[in-house]
Amino acid sequence: MTVLLHQLKFEQRVFWRSREAAVFIFIFPLLLYALLGSIYGDEIDGVPAADVLLAGLFGYGAANTAFGGLAITLVIRREAGILKRLRSTPLPPWTYLATVLLSTLMVFALQAVALLVLGSLAFDASMPANPLGFAGAIVLGVAAFAGLGVGAASLIRSAEGVSAVVNVIVLPMAFLSGSFGPTREFPVFLQAIADVLPLTYFIDIVYGVYLDGESLFADPKALGVLAAWGIAGLAVALKRFTWMPRER
Partner 1 sequence: MSSAIAVRDLRKSYDGVEALRGISFEVTAGEVFGLLGPNGAGKTTAVEILEGYRNRDGGDASVLGYDPGDSPRAMRERIGVVLQHSEITPLLTVREAHLLFAGYYAKPRDVDEVLEVVGLMEKRDARVKTLSGGQKRRLDLGIALVGDPELVFLDEPTTGFDPAARRSAWEMILALRSLGKTILLTTHYLDEAQRLADRVAVIRAGRIIRLGTPAELIGDARSIEIRFLKNGEQVVIETKNPTQALNELTAEALATGYELEQLEVRRPTLEDVYLELVDEYDGDVE
Q: Does the footprint of partner 1 cover residue 38 (CB under 8 A)?
A: no
Three-state SS sequence of the chain: CHHHHHHHHHHHHHHHHCHHHHHHHHHHHHHHHHHHHHHCCCEECCEEHHHHHHHHHHHHHHHHHHHHHHHHHHHHHHHHCHHHHHHCCCCCHHHHHHHHHHHHHHHHHHHHHHHHHHHHHHHCCCCCCCHHHHHHHHHHHHHHHHHHHHHHHHHCCCCCCHHHHHHHHHHHHHHHCCCCCCCCCCCHHHHHHHCCCHHHHHHHHHHHHHCCCCCCCCCHHHHHHHHHHHHHHHHHHHHHCCCCCCCC
- The residue range among 40-48, 55-63, 78-86, 208-216 that interacts with partner 1, by the rule CB under 8 A, is 78-86
Least spacing, CB of residue 62 vs partner 1, in Å: 24
Contact between 88 and partner 1 (CB under 8 A)?
yes
**Is residue 179 part of the contact set for partner 1 (CB under 8 A)?**
no
Under the criterion CB under 8 A, does residue 89 sit at the interface with partner 1? yes
* In the complex, least distance from residue 31 CB atom to partner 1, rounded to whole angstroms: 23
How many residues are given for the chain? 248
Number of residues located near partner 1, criterion CB under 8 A: 23
Q: What's the closest the beta carbon of residue 11 comes to partner 1, in angstroms?
A: 9
Please state the closest distance from residue 5 (CB atom) to partner 1, in A: 9
What is the per-residue binding string for partner 1 in 1-30, x denoting contact by CB under 8 A? --x--xx--x--xx--xx------------
Nearer to partner 1, 2 or 38 (CB): 2
Nearer to partner 1, 4 or 169 (CB): 4
Shortest distance, CB of residue 200 to partner 1, whole angstroms?
Answer: 35
Q: Return residues touching partner 1 (CB under 8 A).
A: 3, 6-7, 10, 13-14, 17-18, 77, 80-82, 84-85, 87-92, 244-245, 248
